[in-house]
A and B are shown apart, each in its own frame.
Chain A
Amino acid sequence: MSEEKQHIVSYKEHFGTWAGLIILTIMTVAVSVANASLLTLTVVTALTIATTKAILVAYWYMHLKFEKKIYRIMLGIVMLLFVNFMLLTIIDYSTR
């Protein structure tokens, strides 16, 4: 069975992704060291930065940006599911 020509991600693009990840890592450490209080905001910030890193890893390192749409849809549904598990469980604890 013949395949289309593979899409090759260049070394430069991989290095660029790495640089982005390192910058975000430094950011997230800096934010937490700087903020002694504001726990909730720190969690939100930390998770936002972590999710940005995750998207970089998924889209470039894991090639998701260049795959068929079905993979992004599947991952989206999986993350939606997980977030809803979390949400529904937390509703119990936050309204007791």
Chain B
Amino acid sequence: MTHLVLPNSGHNRDPEANKMGMWLFLFTEILLFGGLFIVYFVYRSINSDAFLHASYQLNVTIGTINTIILITSSMTVAMSITALQKGNLKLSLILLWITQIFALAFLVNKYFEWGAKIDHGIFPGMAHYAEMASGEKLYFFLYFFMTGLHAVHIIIGGIFIAVVMKKMKEGKVTSERISLLENSGLYWHLVDLIWIYLFPLFYLIH
């Protein structure tokens, strides 16, 4: 049975639509974290001394290293797109592997940072946390919530890139059909962007 085929059919492949869809999704992520940033700013404005004092407990060096890790991983994923566009599948995949390694390194650092805090009983519900000043409790609640949610997004981004890598090896993502790789890159850059704001707001108050 045959049927009418429209020129503006939704079944046509449309990379522009995919790109727009991804950007729209990124807007929702911005607003999602945005709610937390609003909470942060309100509470910092009415608890500024407590926030300053609490921030001394974070390790600026690890934070800076993590920032550099994410910035570099953004570069490698952007370069992997360049590589695939130029037809260099192998280089593109290597760059994506490097991106994944950086992502893992970030998470390992986070694990140690959180671990150090939890060992000292600084976590909502634990003993040392209960003894802290009230504004400091807010700071740490926000710290764990926001960096935790961010880490979840790193994991999601990592999985997304892994899926794209598989499809590249299968020949389903190519220089002609590069939409999925570009969109996974966009998602990864968003994860980087969120950290670009988290870092100074939690680590660099003084």
Do A and B form a real pair?
A: yes
Seen from chain A, the residues whose Cβ lies within 8 Å of a Cβ on chain B are: 1, 3, 6, 8-11, 14-15, 17-18, 21-22, 25, 28-29, 31-33, 35-36, 39, 42, 46-47, 49-50, 53-54, 57-58, 60-63, 67, 71, 74-75, 78-79, 81-82, 85-86, 89-90, 93-94
Interface membership of B75, Cβ < 8 A:
yes
Let me know if A47 and B200 touch, CB within 8 A: yes
Let me know if B82 and A9 touch, CB within 8 A: yes
Which of chain B's residues have a CB closer than 8 A to the CB of A53?
196
Which of chain A's residues have a CB closer than 8 A to the CB of B77?
61
Q: List the A residue with the shortest CB-CB distance to B7.
A: A1
Let me know if B41 and A86 touch, CB within 8 A: yes
Let me know if B41 and A90 touch, CB within 8 A: yes
Which of chain A's residues have a CB closer than 8 A to the CB of B41?
86, 90
Let me know if A50 and B37 touch, CB within 8 A: no
Interface membership of B13, Cβ < 8 A:
yes
Q: Shortest distance in angstroms between A94's beta carbon and chain B's nearest beta carbon? A: 7
Q: List the A residue with the shortest CB-CB distance to B51.
A: A39
Q: Shortest distance in angstroms between A68's beta carbon and chain B's nearest beta carbon? A: 8
Q: Shortest distance in angstroms between B96's beta carbon and chain A's nearest beta carbon? A: 14
**A61-B78, A71-B23, A82-B31 as given contacts; A54 in contact with B67, CB under 8 Å:** no
How many B residues are at the interface, by size bracket? 35 or more
Interface membership of B98, Cβ < 8 A:
no
Let me know if B38 and A57 touch, CB within 8 A: no
Let me know if B196 and A14 touch, CB within 8 A: no
Seen from chain B, the residues whose Cβ lies within 8 Å of a Cβ on chain A are: 12-15, 19-20, 23-24, 27, 30-31, 34, 37-38, 41-42, 45-46, 48, 52, 60, 64, 67-68, 71-72, 74-75, 77-79, 81-82, 85-86, 178, 182, 185-186, 189, 192-193, 196-197, 199-201, 204-206
CA distance A92 to B185 in the complex (A): 38
Q: Shortest distance in angstroms between A19's beta carbon and chain B's nearest beta carbon? A: 9
Let me know if A6 and B23 touch, CB within 8 A: no
CA distance A1 to B17 in the complex (A): 13
In the A-B complex, list the 8 residue pairs whose CB atoms are closest, starting with the nearest. A32-B204, A46-B200, A18-B75, A61-B78, A21-B71, A82-B34, A8-B85, A78-B27
Q: Shortest distance in angstroms between B150's beta carbon and chain A's nearest beta carbon? A: 15
Q: Shortest distance in angstroms between B88's beta carbon and chain A's nearest beta carbon? A: 11
Let me know if B196 and A57 touch, CB within 8 A: yes
